[in-house]
Every structure is written in C-alpha cells, then in structure tokens.
Structure 1
Amino acid sequence: MRLHGTTRALVAVVAAAPGFAGATNGYFSNGNGVASQGMAGVGIGLPQDALAAAANPAGIAFVGNRVDGGVSLFLPKRGAEISGNGYGADGNYDGNNRSIFALPEFGVTYEFLPNAYAGLALYANGGLDTGYAHNPFQAFGATGSAGVDLEQLFLSPTIAYKLFDRHAFGIGLNIAYQRFTASGLQPFTGQSVAPGNVTDQGADSSVGVGVHLGYTGQITPALTVGVTWASKIHGRFDKYKGLFADGGSFDIPENYGLGLSWKVTPAWTVAADFQRILYGNVNSIANPLANLLAGNALGSSGGPGFGWRNTNVIKIGTSYEVTSRLTLRAGYSHSSQPVASTETFLNILAPGVVQNQATLGASWKSDAKTSFGFFYGHAFKKTVNGDNSIPAAFGGGNANVHLSEDVVGVSLGRQF
C-alpha cells in the first residue's frame, strides 16, 4: 500500500511538471535509469535497476526487490539556417526559447511469488521541443514565435517469470501519455484540409496503450542476452488534425532490439544493444513533403509528414566495480540519420538529427541496500544540410538544421 501511494504521488508530480522533452535517437530517449544512461543507454541484456522494464520487461526478474527514482536535466541546443530563398527568409534562427527540461523517472520491482516478479516503471520516453523567437516562416506570412513541443510519458506495469534461475520472459503494457503544441505556422494553413487546426490551438493530449515483450537469459555465467519488442501505440491530436497526416494521427512507432552483456572479469562488464525504431511506419512522421506538392493537403490521409526514416541504434557500454561500493560506467551510442537532406524544411520544427552520444556515470553504495547514481551525456552537434529542401512555392533554397545535447542525471535506489 505504501508503494501504491508513492506511485500515485510520483504520477501527480510528473503530470504537474512544467515540461519534459528528450531526444537522442530521433525523438526516442537513449535510455532509462541512471545506471543504463551512464552506459549510453545499454539495457536490453543488462538489467541494473527497477527501470529495467523500460528497455526489456524480462529484466525485472534479475534486479531483486528494489525501488529507484531519479531526475535528469536535459539541455538541447537546436536551430536552423535558411539560404538561397527567393522570399527573403535567409538567415540563422535560434530555436532555444526554452533550454532546460526535467525528466523524472521511477521504478519498483517485487517478487510476489517464487520466480514471479511484478514491476512498475514511470519515465519520459522522449520528445521534441523548438522555440524560435525569430520565426523562420515570417517571410512566408507567419506571425509571432514559432515552434512545437512534443512530450511523451510512459507508465509501464510489467510481469516476468524466471525459469531454471537463468532465463526469464516478461510482458508489460506501455501506457503512453502524449502532449503536443504548435505555434507560428500560419503559412501552412492554406495547404491544409482543416486550416483552423494547424497552429496555435494550445496543448492537446492523447493516451494510448501498447504491448512490450522481452526475454533475458544467462547463457553462461559470463554471457547474458536479451531480446525485446514493443508494439506501435496509437495516438491522435484532434486540435492539430489539419497538421498531421490522417486527421491528426500521431502514433509512437513499433521498435525492437537485441542486447548482450559479458562479464570479462567479476568486476568488469561490457555490454551492447541494437535497437531499430520504425518511424517509417507512421505516416505523420514518415510521409515526405513531396506529398504536399503532389496534391495531398496537410491533414489528409496522404498528407505530408516530416520525412523521417527507420532508424538503427547501436549502443556500447562498460562498467567497472572499483570497490564493493563504487562502480564506474562509460558508453557510446550511434544512430542512423532519420532526417533526409531533402526533408529539412519542415524539420526546422523537429531537428532530431544527432547521431553520436558519449556518456560517463558512477554509483556509490552507502550501505548494503542503498545506492546513489550519477551520469553525464553529450550528444555531439550534427547538422543536416538541405538538398533543394524548400519547395519553389515557398521561394526555393535550402534549410540546414542542427542539434546538440547535454544531459545530467542523479538517482537514489534501495533494495528491500
């Protein structure tokens, strides 16, 4: 009952937070849990704390009875440059109206029957935010500041069962809350099936549910493997049915992955994950801007999106137990580029283009049951230069978009 009350309180705190957004792999977070994030998000085959279910629901069978909570501060730097435009839009645009975001997270796991485990994880999956005080679309008739804010919060109840003390299968629900706002996009209303639902409609929200499956197995005392799959989660923003394809549809894409961890020595662990995110299967994200030029208006079933492609992510991390109390971590991740050079015009609003991130982390056990964690990550600046990316109807030319990120997090965990 105490845990139930704590969970309700944390949900209320997160719901009241001023905003959360994080994007490293497109608009997906690179990892969840400070221990995982200190290793560049590795977690499919290396469960370390009660947030393990976020990466692989089977992982909760290997972390014991525990509770973990933390918060990360996310600092993105994003912007755009327009050149060669016939309407006079050329210039550099700073998209950092808001520069700091808080990403809270919480998890609890418990063995409720022999070899049967239950868990609950609350975390921000990701998001995107841009805010241009100097509107990049002003030359086309826009007024006020421009930008979008996409936020995603997951609540994941999970059950796992362990076989022969070395293999576990898990299933969970991903209950996803999404919130979205857009402003300063007036030039696009004339190309929409619902011109009154393109921009400046305030915040809209959506709740959807998906399934998350996973397996974790200790193949040898040194080698652990994990496999996971998460279904697409349906979402819709009715206030912006004139912006997103299929009448405001905005699904969270299906994704799957494979993870390995290897105990090189009793103190030294090396791990790696592969993840594939199917952005290309969500029309409002994947449809190219060329659909608009072919006569498919914004908000229609074949309407344009952001032209994002399916993305592959590789994460490599290591941890070393310096003493029984102190563990050090490091990692590096690389993702394929979701944004094509021909699609940068609309992606001024959503420049999720970073591809490489390096992380450092550490945890300290103050006693046998209590631990404190820390991590820092830097996603290196990436610029995608446009290739005839601004349509002739908007004066032609190119938009170049860029993004870099810093994130720092702390956590407190306790076994019980």
Structure 2
Amino acid sequence: MNRFSRLLLASPLLVATTAGASNGPQYAGYGAQAMGMGGAAIANPTDAVAAVNNPAGMGLVGTRIDGSLTATTGQLRSNVQGAKNSDDVLVFVPGFGANYQYRPDITVGVAVSGYGAGIDYGKSVPAFGSSKVKSELAQMLVAPTATYEFQPGHYLGLSLKLGYETLMLHGLENFGASNDRDHALGAGLGIGYLGTIAPGLRLGLTYSSPVWFQKLDAHEDIIPNGRLNMPQQAGLGLAYDSGPWTFAFDYLWIDWSSEKALANSLTQGGPPGAGNGPGFGWRDQQVFRFGVNYHYSERLQLRTGVSLANHQVPDREATLVSIAPCNQPKSLHLGLTYQVSDQLEVTGAYMYDLRHITKGEGASEGVEAGGELHMLTVGLGYRF
C-alpha cells in the first residue's frame, strides 16, 4: 500500500468537529477555496473537499490531500422577555479531504465536514428555566466518494454520508429538557453530475438525501419523534473560465420543512416529543452564491464572492433562535491561494456573516435574537 493510500484510509480518524452556522447549521462554503468564493463550488471544484459541494467534483481534482482550520468569532445576543444575554463566540473547526486517481476515468476519496450551532450565556434565562442556558449541536459527516467519467469531460459522483451528531440542551427546564447530552449515528447518500457543456462552461447538479440519525433518547421528550435529521437538499451550479478569470454561480435548496424537529412550529399544539409537538419552526431556504476567481500570476490567485439566502426562521418563531443562533443568511467572502511549489498550495479565506436580528411577533413577541460572525480559514493542499 503506497503512502497516499495509507493517508486516505486513515483520514476519517483525523478530524473531529464542532461548528458555527450560516445556512442553518451549515457553513456558506466548504473547502478553503470555496469559502473565498461565496461557497460557489457545485460546478467549480478546487480541492479534495469538493465532495461536500458535489460528489462529481472529485473527478476533476486529481490525487491530492487538503486540510483546513476555520476560526469563527463574533457576538451573539438575545433579549428574552427583558432578560438580555450575550455570548462571545470563538470556535475552531477543522476540515479535511483526500482523493485518489485510481484510473484515468475513476477516482476514490473521502471528505469530512462539520455542521453545528450553539450558545453559552453563562446564566439562566427565566423564561426558559432556572439553570445556566447552554446549547450545543455538533454534526460530522464522513463522505467516502467515487466518481466515474462516463464521457470525456462528464462525471458522475456518488457519496455515502456517514454521520455522527451530539446534542446538549441545558437551562431549558420549562420546555422539558433534561440537561443531558446524547449522541447518534446516521447515514445518507449524495449524488452529483459535473460536465463541460460548452467551451469553458461547466454545469453541476447535485442531490443529497436526508441524513437519517438514530433517536436521541435523552431528548425524546422534547424533540419531535426524538430525532434530529439533516434535511435533503439539491443544487445547480455553473462555472465559466475566461482567460485568468473564473465566474461561478450556485443555487441551493435546503428542505428544512421536511424534518419535524426543525419545521414544527413552537406553537404546534401537540405534546413535546410527539410527531406534532413543538419544534424550531424553520422554513425552506433558497441559497444563491456568486464567486469570482482571478489568476493574478502563475503562483497567486485572488477571489471574492457573496452568499444570499432567505431567512429560514420566521419572526413568529424567534423564541428558539436565542438557543440556536442560525439566522445569519447573508455573507461576504474574500480569499487567495499561493502556489508554494508544484505540489503545495496555501489558501486563506475570510467570511463576514452580515449582522441580522430576528424580532419576534405573535407567540414570540418580546424576543429578539441574532448577531454577526467572522470566519477566517487557513488551508493547505498537496498534490501527488
């Protein structure tokens, strides 16, 4: 077994995750270079994390290994019935990918990605309970991926998504939370297509099934059906190369409304934990991503982008935003890559999640929650 093959097999053991959030518990971009282009990567794969955005993208990146570290910082604030709270965020999230060109028309690889959200106010919120409010959702996906070039320049990709999640809810006694932490395993599938449809123009299509997780037994009395699955999503991407310029566009649909724990209204009417019990009240998101990359020289690339989405949390569901701060749907991005040698490249990216405050209406009257986040990513890529 050669050196790269050993690294590829060991890679799922190298990364653990906890995460901040942009589109729900998802980042606006996965992969250090994609992060600098607003996340627009469905038709523009650049590294071995490409499978997260489109499994077929691994067909274009060759044999390589990539790792990154994202630092998320900012302040999240809430006002719940006059109780003002804040949390100064500092979270470090690794990412990893490896890909191997098994044959000229076949690749095999793996991508590891993190998702999550949480809050730690360090004190109680009377409307929620008597102990200190702290919430933490962390999800990790390990995606073994294979691609096949069925015609020159046209690729199909398939990912098996193996998931692990942990959920902790503390200080929510008034909702029936047990102040415990629980863990679950899950699985799903991702498929994708990537092809050159005209000179310089690529089209990408991708679909991910839900990642179905085991029941969280410690929270079955508060979460509908005791399960917190990752929703299905589908996307379309276009990328166009013109001289030193690459222009990329993604559209992504995230089906939050199909998962009861996320979609059920806080005032759903059923008892906590039942299929018709209270949830977060999220609606589907339509995400639009635009990115530009410029090859300034043989060694240096510069890039920028923007990610725009509708807010998945209606104002009438603002109450639980204060414990699940996933309401920054618009972000600005900058990035660069420097080619140190023929094999080694270094990438930096910065993302600013624009400040957004959700102001409650109806049953959530008197609640305001939100904030702003900054993310700085440093990545290394090595081509074999």
What's the TM-score bracket when you normalise by the shorter of the two chains? over 0.9
Show CA shifts across 1:112-170 (max 9, x none). 1231111111121x21111112322x256x22211210011110011111133211011
Shift of 1:101: 1.2
How many equivalent residue pairs? 382
Matched, 1:361 2:353: no
Which residue pairs with 1:270 in the alignment?
A: 247
What is the alpha-carbon distance in structure 2 between the residues aligned to residue 50 and residue 252 of structure 1?
22
Shift of 1:6: 3.4
Q: Which runs of 4+ in 1 moved over 6 A?
A: none
Which residue pairs with 1:145 in the alignment?
A: 132
Higher normalized strand content (fraction of residues): 2
Return the letter of the residue paired with 1:57: P
Which residue pairs with 1:172 in the alignment?
A: 159
Shift of 1:105: 1.2
- After TM superposition, the structure 1 = structure 2 runs for residues 15-414 of structure 1, keeping only pairs within 5 Å, are 15=16, 20-82=18-80, 89-96=81-88, 99-124=89-114, 126-136=115-125, 138-139=126-127, 142-189=129-176, 198-201=177-180, 203-235=181-213, 236-246=215-225, 248-263=226-241, 265-291=242-268, 294=269, 296-390=270-364, 397-414=365-382
What is the alpha-carbon distance in structure 2 between the residues aligned to residue 379 and residue 199 of structure 1?
32
Q: What SS does the corresponding residue of 1:378 show, helix, strand or coil? A: strand
Q: Is the 8 A contact 1:217 1:224 kept in 2?
A: yes
Shift in alpha-carbon separation, 1:168–1:7, aligned structure 2, 3 A? closer
What is the alpha-carbon distance in structure 2 between the residues aligned to residue 238 and residue 222 of structure 1?
51
Which residue pairs with 1:193 in the alignment?
A: none
Q: Is the 8 A contact 1:57 1:170 kept in 2?
A: yes
What is the alpha-carbon distance in structure 2 between the residues aligned to residue 387 and residue 90 of structure 1?
15
Return the letter of the residue paired with 1:130: I
Q: Is the 8 A contact 2:48 2:58 kept in 1?
A: yes
What is the alpha-carbon distance in structure 2 between the residues aligned to residue 77 and residue 377 of structure 1?
15
What is the alpha-carbon distance in structure 2 between the residues aligned to residue 7 and residue 63 of structure 1?
15
Q: What SS does the corresponding residue of 1:371 show, helix, strand or coil? A: strand
Return the letter of the residue paired with 1:386: G
Q: Is the 8 A contact 1:103 1:123 kept in 2?
A: no
- Structure whose CA Rg is larger: 1
Return the letter of the residue paired with 2:238: L
Shift of 1:351: 2.4
Shift of 1:76: 4.0
Q: What SS does the corresponding residue of 2:341 show, helix, strand or coil? A: coil
What is the alpha-carbon distance in structure 2 between the residues aligned to residue 239 and residue 77 of structure 1?
29
Q: What SS does the corresponding residue of 1:284 show, helix, strand or coil? A: helix
Q: What SS does the corresponding residue of 1:285 show, helix, strand or coil? A: helix
In structure 2, runs of 5+ residues without a counterpart are none
What is the alpha-carbon distance in structure 2 between the residues aligned to residue 349 and residue 4 of structure 1?
42
Shift in alpha-carbon separation, 1:93–1:307, aligned structure 2, 3 A? same
Shift in alpha-carbon separation, 1:7–1:153, aligned structure 2, 3 A? farther
Which residue pairs with 1:14 in the alignment?
A: 15
Show CA shifts across 1:80-138 (max 9, x none). 113xxxxxx41321134xx21111111111121231111111121x21111112322x2
Shift of 1:10: 4.9
Shift in alpha-carbon separation, 1:76–1:309, aligned structure 2, 3 A? farther
Shift in alpha-carbon separation, 1:389–1:79, aligned structure 2, 3 A? farther
Q: Is the 8 A contact 1:117 1:159 kept in 2?
A: yes
Q: Is the 8 A contact 1:352 1:403 kept in 2?
A: no
Return the letter of the residue paired with 1:206: A
Shift of 1:12: 3.8
Give TM-score scaled by structure 1 length: 0.89
Q: What SS does the corresponding residue of 1:100 show, helix, strand or coil? A: strand
What is the alpha-carbon distance in structure 1 between the residues aligned to residue 284 and residue 251 of structure 2?
13
Return the letter of the residue paired with 1:274: Y
Q: What SS does the corresponding residue of 1:81 show, helix, strand or coil? A: strand
What is the alpha-carbon distance in structure 2 between the residues aligned to residue 373 and residue 404 of structure 1?
24
What is the alpha-carbon distance in structure 2 between the residues aligned to residue 335 and residue 312 of structure 1?
6
Q: Is the 8 A contact 2:82 2:366 kept in 1?
A: no
Shift of 1:4: 5.2
What is the alpha-carbon distance in structure 1 between the residues aligned to residue 374 and residue 157 of structure 2?
33
Show CA shifts across 1:2-59 (max 9, x none). 34543565544434xxx61121111112121101001011110101111111100111
Shift of 1:214: 0.2
What is the alpha-carbon distance in structure 1 between the residues aligned to residue 105 and residue 11 of structure 2?
28
Indicate the RMSD between aligned Cα atoms, in angstroms: 1.5
What is the alpha-carbon distance in structure 1 between the residues aligned to residue 341 and residue 14 of structure 2?
28
In structure 1, runs of 5+ residues without a counterpart are 83-88, 190-197, 391-396
Q: What SS does the corresponding residue of 1:273 show, helix, strand or coil? A: strand
Shift of 1:311: 0.6
What is the alpha-carbon distance in structure 2 between the residues aligned to residue 209 and residue 4 of structure 1?
24
